[in-house]
Amino acid sequence: MDMNYLYEELDQLQKNQSVIFDFIQDTALGGLWYWDLHNPENRWVSPSFWRTIGYDPNALLNEAEHWQSAVNGEDLAALNAQVRGCVASQTRRCEQIVRCTHQRGTTVWLLCHSLLMQDDAGQPYRVLGVFTDFTRQRNEEVYAQELASHYGSILSNQSVYIIKTDAQGNYTYVNDFFYERFGYDSKIIGTSSLQSIVQEDWPKCLGVVGRCFAEPEVPHQVILRKPYRDGTVKSNHWEFKGLLNGEGQVGEILCVGYDVTLLVENLENSQKLLALTKQQNHRLQNFAYIISHNIRSHSANLTSLVKLMQLSTNQEQSAMFLQMLKTSTDKLAETIVNLNEIVTANSNANQPKESRKLRQEVDKTLEALNVLIHESSIAVTIDIPAEVTVNVVPAYLDSILLNLISNAIKYRSTSAHPTIALSCYQEAEFIVLAIKDNGLGIDLNRHRTKLFGMYKTFHSNEDARGVGLFITKNQVEAMNGKIDVESELGTGSTFKVYFNESV
């Protein structure tokens, strides 16, 4: 209220000093029109109006002509119609957009507030038009709209998935491509995005979302699997980004993704192949060293013996060397036979498998070993149901049974009454055959890693070749199975053969 004196003073000033009025209309407004309602062609247009639309008011030679070309005729007609409406309805104010053409040819958007002035009789006779230039705001708005529709069409037509979720992970936007590929419709908006992902990948997805909250406005990558419309599962590479809302909180998560199923599959295949190749390479390399070792140990003897024989002058000694030479060549021949057997077991990995009754095969092997079992008075018990079958390469099964059962006989107990117990059970996809003896046993702490290695023998048994368990392991693995052992020195051993029944 205290300030009212200033308003009155200003009011007074602008009445007496034209500088105030000039200042307002020059600086604050886009222009002024003032015209005679009875003769609308009689008008006064402020210089600022001309400046607003790019003309120098002092250089205007033919104002009427410029007026014609600068002011949009339709808008002018509309303005006039509005003013007439005001007269009819006895209102004093109205507003109307009036487009003008800038001297450069661009459109200038002006908002015209009109005020009807009344004569002494209260009849409207003049109109004052006050113009505000809103071209910049207008252009920005148009640009923003164009941009939005432009990006809208990009979002819809890309072959990438673009989705947005709220902070709870519910879909708020999904592009057409996503709908199309995954067979969804707009009903999914508002539902949980996590539910559509393969459950195994949930922790991965939640992990990335967590990172989006911790580090917003920065992309975070992840590969997630999702069922495709035809039921196949597709791998998609996603870039998640936490978008901040007005309060500086993550309000939405923008996810842009594309299909990498083929890439992932190729990568997995390559990795599998690489692992297999590595494993094979390692095995081959070891095998080469083993062959080299075994052949060298005999060839070295042969070389030395020949030298010794050449130097020998003693008939008796020469005869001994000859005998040793014979033994060495026999051993070399045996080594080569063994190696041949191992190579055969290794190279025939793709032999056809057949179904065999386990009990029947065990009985057959025991029958073949009957004399040995009888001589050593071993008590054999069999707990294998007659109907249990295993999917095997028949020759491998024969070899495995023969080797493991003869080992049990060979390393039988010398102190207690020797026993061998054969049983079987199911474990996951495997049928497990257990061969348990109460024999010498093996110190697994010392020998576990080399038990199934080649030419490893653990007892000073003369006919131990050191290839049996190596071949057995190779044969079991060639049938996608595995072999395991439990043993204690002096108490006995249990060998377990896992026959893989899933493939």
Partner 1 sequence: MKVFDLVYVIEDDPITSIITELVVKQNAAFGEVQKYMNGQEAYDALVALQWAEEVPDLILLDLNMPVMDGWEFLDAFSALQLPKQVCVYVLTSSIHPEDMEKSRMYKEVKGYFTKPLDGDVLNQMVQLATGGRA
Residues that bind partner 1 (CB under 8 A): 286, 289, 292-294, 296-297, 299-301, 303-305, 307-308, 324, 327-328, 446, 455-461, 464
Q: What is the dihedral of CA 59, 65, 66, 70, to 10 degrees?
A: 180
Burial class (CB in 10 A: 0-12, 13-18, 19+), 74: exposed
Give the total residue count for the chain.
Answer: 503
Query: Nearest distance from residue 295's CB to partner 1, in Å?
Result: 8
Residue 52 or 328: which CB sits closer to partner 1?
A: 328
Residue 328 or 438: which CB sits closer to partner 1?
A: 328
Q: Are 447 and 458 in contact (CB under 8 A)?
A: yes
Residue 475 or 493: which CB sits closer to partner 1?
A: 493
DSSP per residue, 202-255: HHHHHHHHHHHHHSTTS-EEEEEEEE-TTS-EEEEEEEEEEEE-TTSSEEEEEE
Residue 107 or 329: which CB sits closer to partner 1?
A: 329
DSSP state of 376: T
Query: Nearest distance from residue 340's CB to partner 1, in Å?
Result: 19
Q: Are 70 and 21 in contact (CB under 8 A)?
A: no
Residue 156 or 323: which CB sits closer to partner 1?
A: 323
DSSP state of 418: P
Q: Are 148 and 136 in contact (CB under 8 A)?
A: no
Query: Nearest distance from residue 307's CB to partner 1, in Å?
Result: 7
Residue 37, helix vs strand vs coil: coil
Query: Nearest distance from residue 300's CB to partner 1, in Å?
Result: 3
Query: Nearest distance from residue 301's CB to partner 1, in Å?
Result: 5
Q: For residue 487, which of 454, 463, 459, 465 has the smallest C-alpha distance?
A: 459
Residue 264 or 464: which CB sits closer to partner 1?
A: 464
Residue 321 or 498: which CB sits closer to partner 1?
A: 321
Query: Nearest distance from residue 488's CB to partner 1, in Å?
Result: 17
Residue 313 or 460: which CB sits closer to partner 1?
A: 460
Query: Nearest distance from residue 230's CB to partner 1, in Å?
Result: 51
Residue 432, helix vs strand vs coil: strand
Query: Nearest distance from residue 303's CB to partner 1, in Å?
Result: 5
Q: Are 212 and 183 in contact (CB under 8 A)?
A: no
DSSP per residue, 51-71: HHTT--GGG-S-HHHHHHHHB
Buried b (16+ CB within 10 A) or exposed e, 293-329: ebeeebeebeeebeeebeeeeeeeeeeebeebbeebe
Farthest-apart Cα atoms in the chain, separation: 161
Residue 275 or 300: which CB sits closer to partner 1?
A: 300
- The span from the CA of 498 to the CA of 476, in Å, is 8
Q: Which amino acid is at 114?
A: S
In this structure, the number of other CB atoms found within 10 A of the CB of residue 396 comes to 21
Q: φ, ψ for residue 171 (rounded to 5)?
A: -60, 130
Query: Nearest distance from residue 297's CB to partner 1, in Å?
Result: 4
Residue 272 or 446: which CB sits closer to partner 1?
A: 446
Query: Nearest distance from residue 492's CB to partner 1, in Å?
Result: 19
Q: φ, ψ for residue 188 (rounded to 5)?
A: -75, -15
Residue 304 or 389: which CB sits closer to partner 1?
A: 304
Residue 84 or 446: which CB sits closer to partner 1?
A: 446
Residue 348, helix vs strand vs coil: coil
Query: Nearest distance from residue 280's CB to partner 1, in Å?
Result: 18
Query: Nearest distance from residue 356's CB to partner 1, in Å?
Result: 34
| Three-state secondary structure readout of 324-336 | HHHHHHHHHHHHH
